[in-house]
Amino acid sequence: MNTNPSPWRLSATSWLWPKSLSENLRRIASWKLPVSEVALLFYQHAPSLAYLPKEFEPGRGLSSHVHLPLDLPWDDGPRAVWELLDRLMAVPGALSPWGGVLHPPAQPDRLAGVARIWREAAPGWRLMVENIPGQDLRAHWPVVQEYDLPVCLDVGHQMAFDQDWLLDAPDLFERVELVHCYAPGMVKQRHEHLSLTELSPSQRRIIKGILARLGPDTRILFEVFSESDLRGSLETFYALCRELSQESGAK
């Protein structure tokens, strides 16, 4: 299971075991799986800023990206949000994340303010906006286009919250640089982060259709939070890749 049958770089979350961040990174960096990137889960800004450089050292050899906090100070204006994002992206030090995943605020103009500063600052890392529950990016799409923002496509949110419009949005797949890949469960308007082994037949078809449209430079994050769910997801992902290859060869 150490051979990646797809063209995409595969990622795991930085929380697969109930251990410290450094221990999770050490285990991910040392195992014999085709996972070469880690998603650093900076869900809250204060504890994320408190990480020390030495806590990232065990992950040397991995590439990384950051899931940016859910508690950003949007009410304080775009400059305050940007300064916090800039500080957070510097925290991993040697792991040098290539991008950050942002949950967009409800108001598109607030996203526009931060996007403008990101463009002007040109920090060397990618600011990706994610489709989330209650924000399918429809209202934000003019901002995405104006500032040429990349997108993190969360397939679980897309399926669970009926965000079908997004898959037909203008130039979506040219913008998708990261995919959050997992099974969301079967209850509409709710979602879980389950192994891909839990996909229904219709959900398998949706994910397979998404994979068929991705560019080769896109990253795939299995957004699950245990080693067993990651291993199960990898096996299902391999099967989907084989099916895609067979279907492509049959055409």
Round to whole Å and give the CA distance between 91 and 61.
17
Residue 128 near residue 195 (C-beta atoms within 8 A): no
Exposed / middle / buried, residue 28 (Cβ in 10 Å: 0-12, 13-18, 19+): buried
CATH 3.20.20.150 fits 9-250, yes or no: yes
Contact (CB, 8 A) for 14 and 41: yes
Q: What is the CA radius of gyration of the chain?
A: 18
DSSP state of 43: -
Q: Using an 8 Å Cβ cutoff, are 75 and 107 in contact?
A: no
pLDDT recorded at residue 6: 84
Cα 120 from Cα 128, distance rounded (Å): 16
Q: Which of 77, 81, 143, 139 has its CA nearest to residue 112?
A: 143
**What residue segments make up the domains of the chain, in order of their start?**
9-250
For residues 240 and 6, give the distance between their C-alpha atoms in angstroms, rounded to a whole number: 10
Among 3, 27, 237, smallest CA distance to 13 is for 27
* pLDDT of the residue at 2: 56
For residue 250, the model assigns a pLDDT of 62
The pLDDT value recorded for residue 35 is: 95
Q: What is the pLDDT of residues 163-183, one digit of tens each?
A: 999 999 989 999 999 999 999
Positions in the chain short of pLDDT 70: 1-3, 249-251
**For 221-249, how does the pLDDT look when each residue is reduced to its tens digit (9 = 90+)?**
999 999 999 999 999 999 999 999 888 76
pTM: 0.96
The pLDDT of residue 249? 66
Looking at residue 5, its pLDDT comes to 75
